[in-house]
Protein backbone atom coordinates (compact mmCIF):
# COMPACT_ATOMS: atom_id res chain seq x y z
CA UNK A 1 0.00 0.00 0.00
CA UNK A 2 3.03 2.29 0.11
CA UNK A 3 2.75 2.68 3.89
CA UNK A 4 3.53 0.75 7.08
CA UNK A 5 1.49 -0.35 10.10
CA UNK A 6 4.54 -0.81 12.39
CA UNK A 7 2.90 -3.91 13.87
CA UNK A 8 6.23 -5.43 14.96
CA UNK A 9 7.76 -2.30 16.49
CA UNK A 10 4.57 -1.11 18.20
CA UNK A 11 2.61 -3.79 20.04
CA UNK A 12 0.19 -1.10 21.26
CA UNK A 13 -0.97 -0.23 17.73
CA UNK A 14 -4.68 0.63 17.67
CA UNK A 15 -4.95 -0.98 14.24
CA UNK A 16 -3.43 -4.28 15.37
CA UNK A 17 -5.62 -4.32 18.48
CA UNK A 18 -8.75 -3.60 16.42
CA UNK A 19 -7.96 -6.45 14.00
CA UNK A 20 -7.62 -8.87 16.92
CA UNK A 21 -10.78 -7.51 18.53
CA UNK A 22 -12.79 -7.98 15.32
CA UNK A 23 -11.53 -11.56 14.97
CA UNK A 24 -12.62 -12.29 18.54
CA UNK A 25 -16.03 -10.66 18.07
CA UNK A 26 -16.79 -12.41 14.77
CA UNK A 27 -16.06 -15.91 16.06
CA UNK A 28 -17.82 -15.18 19.36
CA UNK A 29 -20.96 -14.01 17.60
CA UNK A 30 -20.98 -17.01 15.27
CA UNK A 31 -21.06 -19.34 18.30
CA UNK A 32 -23.81 -17.47 20.16
CA UNK A 33 -27.48 -18.00 19.28
CA UNK A 34 -28.73 -14.77 20.95
CA UNK A 35 -26.03 -12.69 19.22
CA UNK A 36 -27.05 -14.08 15.83
CA UNK A 37 -30.18 -11.91 16.00
CA UNK A 38 -29.41 -8.29 15.07
CA UNK A 39 -32.14 -6.85 17.30
CA UNK A 40 -30.57 -8.58 20.34
CA UNK A 41 -26.95 -8.12 19.32
CA UNK A 42 -27.26 -4.32 19.30
CA UNK A 43 -27.71 -4.37 23.10
CA UNK A 44 -24.50 -6.31 23.79
CA UNK A 45 -21.07 -4.96 24.76
CA UNK A 46 -19.56 -6.60 21.68
CA UNK A 47 -21.80 -4.51 19.42
CA UNK A 48 -20.27 -1.31 20.77
CA UNK A 49 -16.76 -2.78 20.75
CA UNK A 50 -17.31 -3.85 17.13
CA UNK A 51 -18.37 -0.34 16.09
CA UNK A 52 -15.35 1.15 17.86
CA UNK A 53 -12.97 -1.31 16.18
CA UNK A 54 -14.54 -0.77 12.74
CA UNK A 55 -14.22 2.99 13.16
CA UNK A 56 -10.48 2.62 13.86
CA UNK A 57 -9.97 0.23 10.92
CA UNK A 58 -11.91 2.38 8.44
CA UNK A 59 -10.27 5.57 9.67
CA UNK A 60 -6.83 4.02 9.26
CA UNK A 61 -7.64 2.95 5.69
CA UNK A 62 -8.93 6.44 4.86
CA UNK A 63 -5.76 8.00 6.28
CA UNK A 64 -3.60 5.62 4.24
CA UNK A 65 -5.47 6.61 1.08
CA UNK A 66 -5.25 10.35 1.79
CA UNK A 67 -1.57 10.12 2.70
CA UNK A 68 -0.78 8.26 -0.51
CA UNK A 69 -2.73 10.79 -2.57
CA UNK A 70 -0.64 13.63 -1.11
CA UNK A 71 2.61 11.75 -1.74
CA UNK A 72 1.71 11.17 -5.38
CA UNK A 73 0.56 14.75 -5.91
CA UNK A 74 3.71 16.17 -4.33
CA UNK A 75 6.27 14.05 -6.17
CA UNK A 76 7.28 12.97 -9.63
CA UNK A 77 6.40 9.38 -8.71
CA UNK A 78 3.90 7.89 -11.10
CA UNK A 79 0.60 6.53 -9.81
CA UNK A 80 1.34 3.37 -11.74
CA UNK A 81 4.27 2.42 -9.45
CA UNK A 82 3.80 -1.13 -8.29
CA UNK A 83 1.69 -0.69 -5.15
CA UNK A 84 -1.93 -1.81 -5.20
CA UNK A 85 -3.17 1.45 -3.72
CA UNK A 86 -1.45 3.49 -6.45
CA UNK A 87 -3.12 1.35 -9.10
CA UNK A 88 -6.52 1.85 -7.46
CA UNK A 89 -6.00 5.61 -7.22
CA UNK A 90 -4.84 5.68 -10.83
CA UNK A 91 -8.02 3.84 -11.85
CA UNK A 92 -10.08 6.55 -10.17
CA UNK A 93 -8.15 9.35 -11.86
CA UNK A 94 -8.52 7.73 -15.28
CA UNK A 95 -12.30 7.54 -14.72
CA UNK A 96 -12.53 3.76 -14.71
CA UNK A 97 -15.31 4.15 -12.18
CA UNK A 98 -13.86 3.26 -8.77
CA UNK A 99 -15.19 5.53 -6.02
CA UNK A 100 -13.36 6.56 -2.84
CA UNK A 101 -15.54 4.23 -0.77
CA UNK A 102 -14.81 1.30 -3.11
CA UNK A 103 -11.07 2.00 -2.87
CA UNK A 104 -11.38 2.08 0.91
CA UNK A 105 -13.19 -1.27 0.87
CA UNK A 106 -10.44 -2.83 -1.25
CA UNK A 107 -7.78 -1.47 1.11
CA UNK A 108 -9.76 -2.81 4.09
CA UNK A 109 -9.94 -6.25 2.50
CA UNK A 110 -6.23 -6.53 1.76
CA UNK A 111 -5.03 -5.11 5.06
CA UNK A 112 -7.47 -6.98 7.30
CA UNK A 113 -7.41 -10.32 5.47
CA UNK A 114 -3.64 -10.35 5.02
CA UNK A 115 -2.66 -9.09 8.46
CA UNK A 116 -2.89 -12.21 10.61
CA UNK A 117 -3.41 -15.05 8.14
CA UNK A 118 0.12 -15.13 6.71
CA UNK A 119 1.62 -14.64 10.18
CA UNK A 120 -0.30 -17.66 11.43
CA UNK A 121 0.69 -19.76 8.41
CA UNK A 122 4.41 -18.95 8.69
CA UNK A 123 4.40 -19.81 12.41
CA UNK A 124 2.93 -23.25 11.71
CA UNK A 125 5.28 -23.82 8.74
CA UNK A 126 8.34 -23.16 10.91
CA UNK A 127 6.92 -25.41 13.63
CA UNK A 128 6.35 -28.29 11.17
CA UNK A 129 9.87 -27.92 9.77
CA UNK A 130 11.35 -27.94 13.28
CA UNK A 131 9.40 -31.10 14.12
CA UNK A 132 10.43 -32.88 10.90
CA UNK A 133 14.21 -32.45 10.39
CA UNK A 134 14.36 -34.69 7.30
CA UNK A 135 11.77 -32.52 5.56
CA UNK A 136 13.67 -29.40 6.63
CA UNK A 137 16.92 -30.78 5.22
CA UNK A 138 15.27 -31.52 1.87
CA UNK A 139 13.89 -27.97 1.75
CA UNK A 140 17.36 -26.57 2.50
CA UNK A 141 18.95 -28.65 -0.27
CA UNK A 142 16.35 -27.38 -2.73
CA UNK A 143 17.10 -23.81 -1.71
CA UNK A 144 20.84 -24.36 -2.02
CA UNK A 145 20.39 -25.57 -5.59
CA UNK A 146 17.91 -22.91 -6.71
CA UNK A 147 18.70 -19.81 -4.62
CA UNK A 148 21.89 -19.83 -2.59
CA UNK A 149 24.28 -21.36 -5.14
CA UNK A 150 23.49 -18.41 -7.42
CA UNK A 151 24.44 -15.85 -4.72
CA UNK A 152 21.09 -14.10 -5.03
CA UNK A 153 20.62 -11.28 -2.52
CA UNK A 154 16.97 -11.09 -3.51
CA UNK A 155 14.93 -14.13 -4.54
CA UNK A 156 13.38 -13.48 -7.94
CA UNK A 157 9.83 -14.47 -8.86
CA UNK A 158 11.13 -17.08 -11.30
CA UNK A 159 13.40 -18.70 -8.70
CA UNK A 160 10.65 -18.77 -6.09
CA UNK A 161 8.36 -20.58 -8.54
CA UNK A 162 10.96 -23.35 -8.81
CA UNK A 163 10.83 -24.13 -5.08
CA UNK A 164 8.40 -27.00 -5.61
CA UNK A 165 9.17 -28.96 -2.47
CA UNK A 166 8.94 -25.86 -0.26
CA UNK A 167 5.56 -25.17 -1.87
CA UNK A 168 4.48 -28.73 -1.03
CA UNK A 169 5.58 -28.16 2.58
CA UNK A 170 3.55 -24.95 2.74
CA UNK A 171 0.48 -26.64 1.25
CA UNK A 172 0.71 -29.57 3.66
CA UNK A 173 1.06 -27.18 6.60
CA UNK A 174 -2.03 -25.29 5.43
CA UNK A 175 -3.88 -28.59 5.14
CA UNK A 176 -3.19 -29.38 8.79
CA UNK A 177 -3.40 -25.79 10.03
CA UNK A 178 -5.56 -23.70 7.65
CA UNK A 179 -5.20 -20.03 8.59
CA UNK A 180 -8.97 -19.56 8.33
CA UNK A 181 -10.41 -22.83 9.70
CA UNK A 182 -14.06 -21.80 9.31
CA UNK A 183 -15.82 -19.60 6.78
CA UNK A 184 -19.35 -19.09 5.52
CA UNK A 185 -21.26 -19.05 2.26
CA UNK A 186 -24.85 -18.03 1.53
CA UNK A 187 -27.02 -20.31 -0.61
CA UNK A 188 -28.45 -18.15 -3.42
CA UNK A 189 -31.09 -20.69 -4.51
CA UNK A 190 -32.63 -23.87 -3.10
CA UNK A 191 -29.94 -26.53 -2.94
CA UNK A 192 -30.88 -30.23 -3.14
CA UNK A 193 -28.50 -32.27 -1.02
CA UNK A 194 -29.45 -35.94 -1.03
CA UNK A 195 -33.01 -36.17 0.29
CA UNK A 196 -32.76 -32.75 1.92
CA UNK A 197 -33.30 -29.23 0.58
CA UNK A 198 -31.24 -26.32 1.86
CA UNK A 199 -33.40 -23.21 1.33
CA UNK A 200 -32.15 -20.13 -0.50
CA UNK A 201 -30.55 -17.44 1.71
CA UNK A 202 -29.35 -20.04 4.22
CA UNK A 203 -25.86 -19.38 5.60
CA UNK A 204 -23.66 -22.48 5.46
CA UNK A 205 -20.62 -22.83 7.71
CA UNK A 206 -17.71 -24.64 6.02
CA UNK A 207 -15.25 -26.30 8.40
CA UNK A 208 -12.02 -26.31 6.38
CA UNK A 209 -10.04 -27.79 9.28
CA UNK A 210 -12.32 -30.85 9.27
CA UNK A 211 -12.43 -31.17 5.47
CA UNK A 212 -8.62 -31.29 5.40
CA UNK A 213 -8.48 -34.16 7.87
CA UNK A 214 -10.93 -36.48 6.14
CA UNK A 215 -9.27 -39.94 5.94
CA UNK A 216 -11.13 -40.79 2.72
CA UNK A 217 -9.28 -37.99 0.93
CA UNK A 218 -6.06 -37.93 2.93
CA UNK A 219 -4.81 -41.31 4.21
CA UNK A 220 -3.27 -40.90 7.68
CA UNK A 221 -4.71 -37.37 7.85
CA UNK A 222 -2.87 -36.42 11.07
CA UNK A 223 0.50 -37.20 9.50
CA UNK A 224 2.63 -34.35 8.10
CA UNK A 225 3.52 -35.50 4.59
CA UNK A 226 4.45 -32.86 1.96
CA UNK A 227 4.68 -35.60 -0.67
CA UNK A 228 0.88 -35.41 -0.94
CA UNK A 229 1.32 -32.17 -2.85
CA UNK A 230 4.13 -33.02 -5.22
CA UNK A 231 3.00 -32.86 -8.84
CA UNK A 232 2.54 -36.58 -9.34
CA UNK A 233 0.31 -36.86 -6.25
CA UNK A 234 -1.74 -33.67 -6.45
CA UNK A 235 -4.81 -35.35 -7.92
CA UNK A 236 -5.53 -36.62 -4.40
CA UNK A 237 -6.32 -33.07 -3.30
CA UNK A 238 -9.12 -31.74 -5.49
CA UNK A 239 -10.41 -28.18 -5.35
CA UNK A 240 -13.28 -29.17 -3.06
CA UNK A 241 -11.17 -31.13 -0.58
CA UNK A 242 -8.31 -28.64 -0.22
CA UNK A 243 -9.63 -25.21 0.71
CA UNK A 244 -7.14 -23.21 2.84
CA UNK A 245 -7.94 -20.18 0.66
CA UNK A 246 -11.61 -21.21 0.29
CA UNK A 247 -12.79 -21.92 -3.28
CA UNK A 248 -14.94 -20.67 -6.11
CA UNK A 249 -15.61 -17.09 -7.17
CA UNK A 250 -15.10 -15.77 -3.65
CA UNK A 251 -11.83 -17.54 -2.91
CA UNK A 252 -8.95 -15.56 -1.42
CA UNK A 253 -7.79 -12.89 -3.88
CA UNK A 254 -4.34 -12.82 -2.30
CA UNK A 255 -3.47 -16.52 -2.37
CA UNK A 256 -0.69 -16.22 -4.96
CA UNK A 257 0.81 -13.22 -3.19
CA UNK A 258 0.56 -15.04 0.15
CA UNK A 259 2.40 -18.05 -1.27
CA UNK A 260 5.24 -15.77 -2.44
CA UNK A 261 5.38 -14.07 0.97
CA UNK A 262 5.65 -17.40 2.76
CA UNK A 263 8.36 -18.67 0.42
CA UNK A 264 10.43 -15.51 0.84
CA UNK A 265 10.20 -15.43 4.65
CA UNK A 266 10.81 -19.15 5.18
CA UNK A 267 13.74 -19.25 2.74
CA UNK A 268 15.32 -16.22 4.43
CA UNK A 269 15.02 -17.81 7.89
CA UNK A 270 16.34 -21.19 6.76
CA UNK A 271 19.34 -19.55 5.11
CA UNK A 272 20.56 -18.36 8.51
CA UNK A 273 19.05 -20.77 11.03
CA UNK A 274 18.31 -24.42 11.67
CA UNK A 275 14.90 -24.98 13.21
CA UNK A 276 14.80 -27.33 16.18
CA UNK A 277 12.05 -28.60 18.49
CA UNK A 278 11.98 -27.42 22.07
CA UNK A 279 13.02 -29.64 24.97
CA UNK A 280 10.63 -30.94 26.17
CA UNK A 281 8.78 -31.02 22.88
CA UNK A 282 6.18 -28.26 22.53
CA UNK A 283 2.65 -29.54 21.86
CA UNK A 284 0.24 -27.16 20.15
CA UNK A 285 -3.10 -26.41 21.77
CA UNK A 286 -5.17 -25.00 18.93
CA UNK A 287 -7.60 -22.18 19.56
CA UNK A 288 -10.72 -21.71 17.46
CA UNK A 289 -10.71 -18.12 16.25
CA UNK A 290 -11.28 -16.39 12.92
CA UNK A 291 -7.58 -17.00 12.27
CA UNK A 292 -6.19 -20.28 13.62
CA UNK A 293 -3.85 -19.80 16.58
CA UNK A 294 -2.16 -21.90 19.23
CA UNK A 295 -3.41 -21.08 22.73
CA UNK A 296 0.02 -21.87 24.20
CA UNK A 297 2.03 -20.26 21.40
CA UNK A 298 4.15 -21.82 18.66
CA UNK A 299 7.54 -22.55 20.23
CA UNK A 300 10.70 -23.75 18.48
CA UNK A 301 14.47 -23.33 18.94
CA UNK A 302 16.85 -21.65 16.50
CA UNK A 303 20.47 -22.61 15.88
CA UNK A 304 22.80 -20.52 13.76
CA UNK A 305 23.44 -22.19 10.41
CA UNK A 306 27.15 -22.20 9.52
CA UNK A 307 27.83 -22.88 5.85
Residue numbers belonging to the annotated binding site: 252
Under a CB-based contact definition with an 8 Å cutoff, are residues 274 and 302 in contact?
Answer: yes
Instruction: In whole angstroms, give the CA distance from residue 81 to residue 98.
Output: 18
User: What residue numbers does the annotated binding site for heme cover?
Assistant: 252
Helical spans, DSSP H, in 31-99? 38-41, 45-73, 84-93
Residue 301: φ, ψ to 5°? -110, 150
Give CA torsion, residues 21, 23, 24, 27, to 10 deg.
Answer: 150
With CA atoms as reference, report the closest residue to 219 among 206, 243, 234, 236: 236
Angle between helices 45-73 and 100-131 (to 10 degrees): 110
Burial class from Cβ neighbours inside 10 Å (0-12, 13-18, 19+) for residue 244 reads buried
Q: Is 133 helix (H, G, I), strand (E, B) or coil?
A: helix
Q: Is 96 exposed, middle or buried (0-12, 13-18, 19+ CB in 10 A)?
A: exposed
Amino acid sequence: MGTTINAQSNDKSDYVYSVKEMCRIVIGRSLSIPKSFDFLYQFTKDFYKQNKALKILHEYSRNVIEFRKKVLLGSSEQASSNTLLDLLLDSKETKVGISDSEIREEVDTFMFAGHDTVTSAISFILYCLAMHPQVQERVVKEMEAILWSHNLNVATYGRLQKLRYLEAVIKETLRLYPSVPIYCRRVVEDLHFGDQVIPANTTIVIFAYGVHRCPKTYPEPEKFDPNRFLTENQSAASTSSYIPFSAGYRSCIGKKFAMLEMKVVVSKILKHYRLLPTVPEHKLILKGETVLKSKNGVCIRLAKRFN
